[in-house]
Amino acid sequence: MVCQLHAPRVCSQAALLLLQLIFIFFSAVSGSAAQMAFTDQQLTISGLTPSGKVVLFGVSLKPLGYESQIVKTAKVVTADAAGTLSYSVLQRSVWAAVDLTSGALASGAPKESRAEITDLLSETQPIGIGAMSLNRPARFLLVLMVRPATGGVWALDAGDGDDGANPRGDAIVRVSLAKLKALNGDLVAPTRLALGDVLIAIDPHTLHAFTAALPRR
């Protein structure tokens, strides 16, 4: 951009407009920044697409005497006109939500849950585009995959040794993406991760969640 010396105001306005366009572009690329917050018995997600579809995924440990019952939530819900979603939760739980329009991922847990959330993209050997499976040290994992581009949602409850590689178990859960089952509809599960995909896995015993939101472009 070339600015003439005799038109500083025009130059300044043009530069401001250019910065605004750059901001809008990168905002569109990254998707909306959905945020998750918790009160005593409720989670609230803001920054969602107004009246848009949202995939809600969570694991709760419901007290039953000296033990706990594992309660899984995996459903497609609708945000309100302001782009907000509220949902009743238990204290010992961990949650993730995916905006099916923007692809934005939000995750979190109540303060007293003692849950842990790991970003799979920040690990030394991060999962990425083209990956065909998820392998994690665990005895059991509840897995969810979302492909916002098509609205596809797939899930699978996987245990150590289910893959047949070690029937007796070796404390590693190996999940082939191709084995995931459609949560809604009959879309066949993808065999590889692609741009914009979101992958979530939760250990129901420890409430350790693993998330990966791949870039959209």
pLDDT value at position 23?
35
Question: Does the pLDDT at position 9 exceed 60?
Answer: no
Do 22 and 121 lie in one domain? The reply is no
First CA to last CA distance, the chain: 27
Q: What angle do CA 112, 103, 147 make, to 5 degrees?
A: 105
Query: Total structural domains in the chain?
Result: 2
Question: Does the pLDDT at position 22 exceed 50?
Answer: no
Question: 167 falls in which pLDDT band (50, 70, 90)?
Answer: low
Question: Does the pLDDT at position 32 exceed 60?
Answer: no
Do 4 and 111 lie in one domain? The reply is no
Higher pLDDT, 162 or 71: 71
pLDDT value at position 102?
95
Q: What angle do CA 204, 107, 190 make, to 5 degrees?
A: 75
The domain containing residue 134 runs over which residues? 31-213
Do 113 and 20 lie in one domain? The reply is no
Question: 13 falls in which pLDDT band (50, 70, 90)?
Answer: low
Do 174 and 196 lie in one domain? The reply is yes
Least confident interval from 76-80, 159-163, 179-183: 159-163
Helix (H, G, I), strand (E, B) or coil at 129: coil
Between CA 6 and CA 143 the distance in angstroms is 62
pLDDT value at position 168?
62
Q: Report strand pairing: 53-64 vs 67-78.
A: antiparallel
pLDDT value at position 162?
77
Do 156 and 58 lie in one domain? The reply is yes
Question: 87 falls in which pLDDT band (50, 70, 90)?
Answer: very high
pLDDT value at position 185?
79
Share of the chain above pLDDT 90, in %: 72
Q: Please name the helix (run of DSSP H) or strand (run of DSSP E) that holds residue 26, with its range, or none.
A: helix 8-30
Do 133 and 152 lie in one domain? The reply is yes
Do 133 and 162 lie in one domain? The reply is yes
